[in-house]
């Protein structure tokens, strides 16, 4: 199935947030968790997937990412809490 994912990673509940887009969510989250690429998520230890949103096209996911990246932090936190009240790591739920 084609499409893309918008996702949010964190280091702890109410911690640093990272918003990203990928076409392979399981692989990309694994890369963040293992620290295979230098960058923001490795520097801040963002290894916990707390939110994921499926889109039918990569363009739609990128547009949503751009929108969310401009949101105030409180709105991003509210988005996570709406779907994941306990800030649970969703990585193990990926199929």
Q: Is 16 exposed, middle or buried (0-12, 13-18, 19+ CB in 10 A)?
A: middle
Nearest CA to 16 out of 52, 39, 55, 44 is that of: 44
> Does pTM top 0.85 for this prediction?
yes
Residues 24-29, mean pLDDT to the nearest whole number:
95
**What's the Cα-to-Cα distance from 94 to each of 25, 27, 30, 76, rounded to whole Å?**
8, 10, 11, 21
Tell me: pLDDT of 3 over 60: yes
Domains and CATH numbers, the chain: 4-93 (3.40.1440.10)
For residue range 41-94, what is the model confidence (pLDDT) as tens digits? Answer: 999 999 999 999 999 999 999 999 999 999 999 999 999 999 999 999 999 998
Full strand arrangement of the beta sheet holding 48-55: 17-22, 4-10, 48-55
Q: In the prediction, which pLDDT does 2 show?
A: 78
Reply yes or no on whether the pLDDT at 38 is more than 90: no
């Amino acid at each position: 199935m084609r499409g893309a994912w918008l996702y949010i990673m964190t280091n702890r509940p109410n911690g640093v947030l990272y918003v990203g887009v990928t076409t392979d969510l399981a692989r990309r989250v694994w890369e963040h968790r293992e620290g295979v690429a230098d960058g923001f998520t490795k520097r801040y230890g963002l290894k916990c997937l707390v939110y994921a949103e499926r889109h039918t096209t990569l363009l739609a996911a990128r547009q949503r990412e751009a929108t969310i990246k401009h949101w105030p932090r409180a709105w991003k936190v509210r988005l996570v809490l709406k779907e994941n009240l306990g800030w649970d790591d969703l990585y193990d739920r990926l199929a």
